[in-house]
């Protein structure tokens, strides 16, 4: 990734440091995903990447938000991406996996520190351990009886249990991590 990677919007962006050759991973950028990218936002949250999903925000609002600083826009809208220059990443693809693959090279370039399963997929809030006692009525009794590990969202208050669905997400996380790693190796 060092030197030979073509200049991307990420690397040109002064507020988002590009990957430091052989250096430590950096904090991940924060993202705003525009309409139709709700599934991609959930995927990035699986990796612990802070992603705000704005379903119905008009372009003018998105531009204002992004230009105010601190976030990168993810969008399928070429005109909007062009207007925001180095503050937006173009998303393409016919499904969410292809959408992820379209930004995997940029994610590899920023070399950010991933924290899988640390964020709520629904709202992006931080997940914290929850005891069986405090989970109360938010978890069905049969789940409590199985003794599964519980995590709760610090923002929306939802409680999640580490069952079959959780394991499926872990598999998806491994796939995403491998794809990012492939991109890193491609350019090393
Ligand atoms: Zn939440």
Confidence of residue 135 (pLDDT cuts 50, 70, 90): confident
Work out the pLDDT band at 170, boundaries 50, 70, 90.
very high
Distance from the alpha carbon of residue 112 to the mean position of ligand 1, in angstroms: 23
Measured in Å, residue 179 CA sits from the centre of ligand 1 at 27
Q: Mean pLDDT over residues 166-171, rounded? A: 94
pLDDT at 7 over 70: no
In the predicted structure, residue 172 carries a pLDDT above the cut 80: yes
- Which class is domain 9-116+181-187? alpha beta
Ligand 1 center from residue 94 Cα (angstroms): 27
Tell me how far the alpha carbon of residue 122 lies from the centroid of ligand 1, in angstroms.
5
> In 38-153, where do the E strands start and end?
51-53, 71-75, 88-90, 127-129, 150-153
Q: Where are the domains of the chain?
A: 9-116+181-187
Ligand 1 centroid to Cα of residue 88, in Å, is 25
User: With left for phi above 0 and alpha for psi between -120 and 50, is residue 127 left, alpha or beta?
Assistant: beta
Instruction: Say if CB 84 and CB 73 are below 8 A apart.
Output: yes
Which pLDDT does position 23 carry in this prediction?
Answer: 56
3, with CB counted inside 10 A (0-12, 13-18, 19+), is: exposed
């Amino acid at each position: 990734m060092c030197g030979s990677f073509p200049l991307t919007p990420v690397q040109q962006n002064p507020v988002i440091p590009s990957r430091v050759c052989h250096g430590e991973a950096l904090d991940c950028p924060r993202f705003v995903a525009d309409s139709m990218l709700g599934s991609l936002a959930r995927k990035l949250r699986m990796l612990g990447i802070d992603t705000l999903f704005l379903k119905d925000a008009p372009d003018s609002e998105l531009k204002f938000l992004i230009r105010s600083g601190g976030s990168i826009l993810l969008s399928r809208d070429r005109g909007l991406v062009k207007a925001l220059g180095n503050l937006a990443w173009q998303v393409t693809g016919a499904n969410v996996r292809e959408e992820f693959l379209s930004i995997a090279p940029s994610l590899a370039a920023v070399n950010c520190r991933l924290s899988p399963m640390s964020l709520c997929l629904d709202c992006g809030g931080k997940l914290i351990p929850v005891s069986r006692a405090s989970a109360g009525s938010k978890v069905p009794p049969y789940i409590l009886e199985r003794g599964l590990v519980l995590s709760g969202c610090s923002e929306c208050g939802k409680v999640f249990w580490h069952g079959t669905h959780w394991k499926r997400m872990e598999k998806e996380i491994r796939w995403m991590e491998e794809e990012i790693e492939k991109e890193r190796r491609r350019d090393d």
